[in-house]
Amino acid sequence: MPELLDRAAVRLDAKAIGRDDAIRQCGAALVGAGAVEPAYVDTMLERERSVSTYVGEGVAIPHGTLAGKDAVHHDAVSFVRFPDGVEWNGEQVVLCIGIAARGDGHVRLLSELAQILLDPEQARALRETNDIDEVVRLLQPAGEEVAE
Amino acid sequence: MPERTVTIASRTGLHARPAAIFVKAAAEQSVPVRIRVGDGSPVPAASMLAVLSLGAGHGTEVILDADGPGADDALDALVTLLARDLDAEEAADA
């Protein structure tokens, strides 16, 4: 069973020229981790045009449409941080967490991510840490230990 | 405190478009509205992160509450929203 967050899908110092560029980078990280087909990234852009995935606090959680589910190999997230911020429908996004899930898995994934982001300590750590391992540990689903 | 129980009708659950519509509507009410699942802690219905944290999928029963003048009207409006398939109203999202 692959990890939910692959170390290779974490970037702490990315730059993007805009929202769509940021989403493509988030999607590319999921493709690179072997979690999705490249076609999934197009459905992430499609979703965003339909409704913003900005959730507040400088965080966006882009994910594909229902139609994109066929392009998902396994549930995964990617974590791309933009220290300079990205303009996102009038908001500034510094944290972009891409999500891919099969079936109804996205509801549980979004819920777990939201609970982490609602915790001020964990949210601050995700914004500030320079340690990829800490990001991987923080985004580990509750109750699952990181394999050493 | 007035409460309403409603089942999430949206096919993909309370996230993305349905959540955005619901959170916006909750913020527009004259009183603060809270939402919870089962025995869970109530969270502000006007907070996207809080609403997402509920993990309410299609068919999940949620409970809304609010207090003060206009609470009943606010709850009725929001219950009506959640009882609709908000995904079906955006073909591109299906």
A43 contact B CB<8A: no
Structural domain includes residue A69? yes
Structural domain includes residue A51? yes
Q: What is the DSSP string of B46-61?
A: T-HHHHHHT---TT-E
Structural domain includes residue A146? no
Q: Which residue segment(s) compose the domain that B34 sits in?
A: 3-88
pLDDT score at B90: 52
List chain B residues with CB under 8 Å of A88.
none
List chain A residues with CB under 8 Å of B14.
107
Structural domain includes residue A147? no
Per-residue pLDDT 10s for chain B (94 aa) are 999 999 999 988 898 889 999 999 999 999 999 999 999 999 999 999 999 999 999 999 999 999 999 999 999 999 999 999 887 765 444 3
What percent of chain A has a predicted confidence (pLDDT) above 70? 93
Structural domain includes residue B93? no
Structure tokens at A15: 């730059």
pLDDT score at A148: 43
Structure tokens at B35: 């939402």
Q: What is the CATH number of the domain that holds B15?
A: 3.30.1340.10
pLDDT score at A147: 47
Structural domain includes residue B53? yes
Structural domain includes residue A2? no
Q: Residue A115: pLDDT above 70?
A: yes
Structural domain includes residue B94? no
Taking the complete model, does pTM exceed 0.95, yes or no? no
Structural domain includes residue B45? yes
pLDDT score at B11: 87
Mean pLDDT of A2-22: 93
Mean confidence (pLDDT) of chain A:
91
pLDDT score at A142: 60
A11 contact B CB<8A: no
Q: What is the DSSP string of A69-113?
A: GGGBSS-EEEEEEEEEEEEETTEEEEEEEEEE-STTHHHHHHHHH
Which residue of chain B comes nearest to A116, CA vs CA? B53
Structural domain includes residue A54? yes
Structural domain includes residue A121? yes
Structural domain includes residue B60? yes
Q: Residue A145: pLDDT above 90?
A: no
Mean pLDDT of A4-26: 96
Mean pLDDT of A26-52: 95
Structural domain includes residue B29? yes
This complex has an ipTM of 0.83
* Dist. CA A64–CA A43, nearest whole Å: 5
Total domain count for chain A? 1
Q: Which residue segment(s) compose the domain that A97 sits in?
A: 7-138
Tell me which amino acid residue A109 is: L
Q: What is the CATH number of the domain that holds A44?
A: 3.40.930.10
C-alpha distances out from residue A131 to A13, A41, A76, A128, B42, Å: 12, 27, 20, 9, 34
Structural domain includes residue B82? yes
Total domain count for chain B? 1
pLDDT score at A143: 52
Structural domain includes residue A144? no
B36 contact A CB<8A: no
